[in-house]
Structure 1
Amino acid sequence: MDASLAAQQPLNRLNIFATKGVQMRTFHLTWLTFFFCFFGWFGIAPLMPLVREQLHLDKGQIGNIVIASVSATILARLIMGKLCDTIGPRLAYTILLGVGAIPVLTIGLSNSYESFLLFRLAIGIIGASFVITQFHTSMMFAPNVVGTANAVAGGWGNLGGGIANMVMPLVAAGFVSLGYVDKANSWRLAMVVPGVILLLMAALYYKYTQDTPRGNYADIQRNAAVKSQGTFMVALRDYRTWILGLAYGACFGIEITIDNVAAVYFVDHFGATLVAAGMLAGIFGFMNIFARGLGGVVSDRAGRAYGIQGKWMLLGGLLLLEGVGIAAFALAPSLPLAIAAMLVFALFLKMANGCTYSIVPFVNTKAIGSVSGIVGAGGNLGAMLVGFLFKSATISYTMAFLYIGVGVAVVGGLVLLLRLVLKEATETAPMALAGA
């Protein structure tokens, strides 16, 4: 194959140390941008004990804030999935970053529960960054490695939530030590940092990425059928989209819930300090550096050995193990045992995340963006629903985690059962993603 033509094709291998070529440049920029989106999305989470004290928030109000933080993402992911299919991921990401940076920069202006709730709701739109990242890596990599590429990009991006839990209390403490603000108000100034970074990433993404290996949507001849087709309805009519959305709600939906409540849980239930609780919550998120990618790698190998059905069965098994681990975490009588259980269920949860999006590109090659958006929205819908457990006045955080563990295990069993009953005989690999 001619070198110039080869440079316009999706890559059939992932070398994470490579930086040359539009495919690898886009890969590294998209996961890094996603990382900072998650950093901004969950930057306030480890600072919530300070917010709670200053704004005099009760348990129900904190629960509403947790729900709000993931609610706007549902609609945003649906919109961004469609925009990826129409205007392309480069412009979609640039728009999202510019708009999403505004509430991150200004949440420090909140002086009441109501205003803080609205800012937290608005910040949730940057969670749609995940859909664009998964779509963009799907455009840049061939079917044999797309699951691994999606999982690694997603995992390294999700790492932003864990790093935010670790770093943001230190950022706030740093502003206090420099004399810029007192401790009670330090969360306000700290949130300016991720907001500025999001604006910087918008400029970098627009300048240094392109929609496909062949060029931007505006500059290449795209398939007319793909442009005119109602990709959103095509995705909705496929039962596999719904199964994946349910599965993603049981893994990623739980992940972002824990990103939101873990620090508060460790402070209240085990008496940890703010910085220590942030570090412990950060450990959960830090596992994304390898665990989600591992899920993609194992899923791709299962696909090569057993076909697409192997990917599906792996997903169901991972969800079952995740549910058991969460239940063990809820029942842990001491902090060391809770940490151990958290590490175990975090491994299966993040592997399930990677496995889910290794299947997404195989559902419908003409509607990858819409399928990705709907499945991603399913993850946030799951987070929103379990968020009601954490706002209940009669359900403790411990019991909430126990109920979640049982529910996730049930979903894992349903995925296995549905795939055995409704096995699709004609599932095919996404050939020529770059021409979509």
Structure 2
Amino acid sequence: MSEPDKINIFSFTGKMRALHLSWIAFFITFVVWFNHAPLVTAIADSLSLTREQLKTLLILNVALTIPARVIIGMLTDRFGPRRVYSALLALCSIPCFMYALADNFTQAAIARFLLGCIGAGFVIGIRMVSEWFPAKQLGTAEGIYGGWGNFGSAAAAMTLPTIALLFGGEDGWRYAVGLTGLMSLAYSVIYYMSVSDTPKGSTYFRPKNLGGMEVTSKGDFVLLLIMKIPMYAALALLTWKLSPQGVSMLSAGIATAIYIGLTLLYLLDAWKAWQINKEIFSKPVPTIHQYKFKQVAVLNVLYFATFGSELAVVSMLPLFFMDTFELDPVMAGLVASAYAFMNLMSRPGGGLISDRFGRKTTLLVLTAGLAVGYATMSIIDSSWPLVLAVVAAMTCSFFVQAGEGAVFAVVPLIKRRLTGQIAGMTGAYGNVGAVFYLTVLSLVDYQTFFLVIAGTAVLGFMTLLFLEEPKGQMTEVMPDGTVTMIDVS
């Protein structure tokens, strides 16, 4: 018996139950991940942090998410979303409690670095939702999952300062942060008890190997190795930021050791990729089983510009409004939350438009709007009325988040059994973008920062011309060896 074609957001049965439980899990990961941004001034006062140390915490917060998203994507494809999401929510409550109890910059930095892992939760739900919804509804469903979950950062901005004030005293922020950790721990149990990886009777397709992404042509193998480089480069950039050339959190010797370690890790990663894909060099993959990795590469670049800029802007926007319009921290947090508030409708809207009007066309329009939006943000100064500045931020935010929804309307349509890994790599590129943009922010003024994002959006638009509209069907092999065709249009 098939479920109705329409998505009924007020339903809590079948596929909608899986969707609602998953976006709530994602929502909680974002509350935890961004529980520091709206409390930044209280934390700075409590721990006697400098402005440079604060910016370092912002970068640390998104650093570990880069490898975490890739690894969590692999684990999701192998072990299923239910187990992996539940484990992530439970484990990441630990560094959350560590952050709430931190007494100095070093302790806060270590906790914040480890908390970056919770940002990998997003890719788990992408696979879960793709198992429950047909292709014609997938963009909308993934958009709801991403948009409503992403709203966690806005919810944190709107509620945590008030919660901290309710507890009162200079430790109010600690109670607010600790409360988010308790929420994550409790929901890990609820999620595990309440969902299943697939609808009853459906097959959960798993990759042939754990430890690397499969590709289906020699050219794609080379492109895969190239696309891995920016992820390691972002971690090297972070190391540089923490070295004596930056905030001197790491000694020159440790920084050099990390550079060498990252190089060796890349070579090991490339070797693992070769081990998994070496057969394609001796025996071509049948056409029916091929997919084009260039699709993944294009989506990576687009997510760098969309989600990368969102992460960076959500992290710095309260400070931007405080500095530009001389607002108090609570008001700045509320005003800045308008940017993330757009997630509620923008990301589902991007997915819905993509379902209706085509994946590529939607992305082209939204990426163009993204470039214009950030160019506009770059000219905001204290002479602007605050209302107009907020409207400009919200308009820009629409294109950013609708673009994210449109990107992940395509991701699950490339290769079903690799959806977690593809989502992991594309999601990781969002964090590569965030590390890049936040590093730029630490070196330039706000206006230049927004202009740099606009420039990368233009680059994303040019890359997008190489994307092919998903159409027809993709194939997967059942455990008994029979071939299943899955509609992608």
Q: Which residue of 1 aligns with 2:438?
A: 387
The yes-or-no answer on 1:279 pairing with 2:272 is no
TM-score normalised over the length of structure 2: 0.78
Q: Which residue of 1 aligns with 2:257?
A: none
| CA pair 231-79 structure 1, distance change in 2 beyond 3 A | closer
The yes-or-no answer on 1:113 pairing with 2:164 is no
- The answer as to whether partners of 2:207 and 2:417 remain within 8 angstroms in 1 is no
**1:362 Cα offset (Å):** 1.4
| CA pair 98-319 structure 1, distance change in 2 beyond 3 A | same
What secondary structure is seen at the aligned counterpart in 2 of 1:248?
A: helix
Q: Which among 183, 186, 199 is matched to residue 213 of structure 1?
A: 199
Q: Which residue of 2 aligns with 1:204?
A: 190
Deviation track 1:318-347 (CA, whole Å, cap 9, x = no partner) reads: 122112111211212323332121011101
Q: Which among 190, 202, 208 is matched to residue 228 of structure 1?
A: 208
| CA pair 144-44 structure 1, distance change in 2 beyond 3 A | same
Q: Which among 398, 402, 407 is matched to residue 447 of structure 2?
A: 398
Q: Which residue of 1 aligns with 2:48?
A: 56
CA RMSD of aligned residues (A): 2.2
Deviation track 1:349-384 (CA, whole Å, cap 9, x = no partner) reads: 110010000000111123111111111111111111
Return the alpha-carbon distance in structure 1 between the equivalents of residues 211 and 411 of structure 2: 14
Counterpart amino acid of residue 349 in structure 2 = L
More off after superposition, 230-239 vs 44-53: 230-239
Q: Which among 31, 35, 40 is matched to residue 23 of structure 2?
A: 31
What secondary structure is seen at the aligned counterpart in 2 of 1:290?
A: helix
The yes-or-no answer on 1:73 pairing with 2:65 is yes
Return the alpha-carbon distance in structure 1 between the equivalents of residues 305 and 113 of structure 2: 21
**1:429 Cα offset (Å):** 4.2
Q: Which residue of 1 aligns with 2:237?
A: none
What secondary structure is seen at the aligned counterpart in 2 of 1:331?
A: coil
The yes-or-no answer on 1:342 pairing with 2:397 is no
Deviation track 1:164-215 (CA, whole Å, cap 9, x = no partner) reads: 1111111101111xxxxx1x33211210111111011100110000111127
- The answer as to whether partners of 1:73 and 1:127 remain within 8 angstroms in 2 is yes
More off after superposition, 372-381 vs 111-120: 111-120
Greater helix fraction, Structure 1 or Structure 2: 1
What secondary structure is seen at the aligned counterpart in 1 of 2:82?
A: helix
Counterpart amino acid of residue 128 in structure 1 = A
Q: Which among 460, 470, 488 is matched to residue 411 of structure 1?
A: 460
The yes-or-no answer on 1:288 pairing with 2:339 is no
Return the alpha-carbon distance in structure 1 between the equivalents of residues 423 and 477 of structure 2: 14
TM-score normalised over the length of structure 1: 0.87
Return the alpha-carbon distance in structure 1 between the equivalents of residues 342 and 164 of structure 2: 24
What secondary structure is seen at the aligned counterpart in 2 of 1:360?
A: helix
Return the alpha-carbon distance in structure 2 between the equivalents of residues 203 and 42 of structure 1: 22
The yes-or-no answer on 1:185 pairing with 2:171 is yes
Q: Which residue of 2 aligns with 1:172?
A: 164
Deviation track 1:43-67 (CA, whole Å, cap 9, x = no partner) reads: 1111111222333333332222111
The yes-or-no answer on 1:15 pairing with 2:70 is no
- The answer as to whether partners of 1:143 and 1:430 remain within 8 angstroms in 2 is no
Q: Which residue of 2 aligns with 1:269?
A: 324
| CA pair 247-433 structure 1, distance change in 2 beyond 3 A | farther
What secondary structure is seen at the aligned counterpart in 1 of 2:417?
A: coil
Q: Which among 95, 112, 125 is matched to residue 103 of structure 1?
A: 95
- Percent of aligned pairs with the same residue? 31
- How many equivalent residue pairs? 402
- The answer as to whether partners of 1:26 and 1:209 remain within 8 angstroms in 2 is yes
Q: Which residue of 2 aligns with 1:156?
A: 148
- The answer as to whether partners of 1:46 and 1:264 remain within 8 angstroms in 2 is no
**1:274 Cα offset (Å):** 1.0
Return the alpha-carbon distance in structure 2 between the equivalents of residues 115 and 362 of structure 1: 42
More off after superposition, 167-176 vs 62-71: 62-71
Q: Which residue of 1 aligns with 2:260?
A: none
Deviation track 1:128-173 (CA, whole Å, cap 9, x = no partner) reads: 1110111111110011101110011110000011111111111101
Return the alpha-carbon distance in structure 1 between the equivalents of residues 310 and 447 of structure 2: 16
Return the alpha-carbon distance in structure 2 between the equivalents of residues 53 and 409 of structure 1: 40
Return the alpha-carbon distance in structure 2 between the equivalents of residues 433 and 88 of structure 1: 17
**1:431 Cα offset (Å):** 7.3
| CA pair 431-344 structure 1, distance change in 2 beyond 3 A | farther
The yes-or-no answer on 1:325 pairing with 2:373 is yes
For structure 2, the 5+ residue unaligned runs are 216-220, 225-292, 479-483
Return the alpha-carbon distance in structure 1 between the equivalents of residues 70 and 59 of structure 2: 18
**1:430 Cα offset (Å):** 5.2
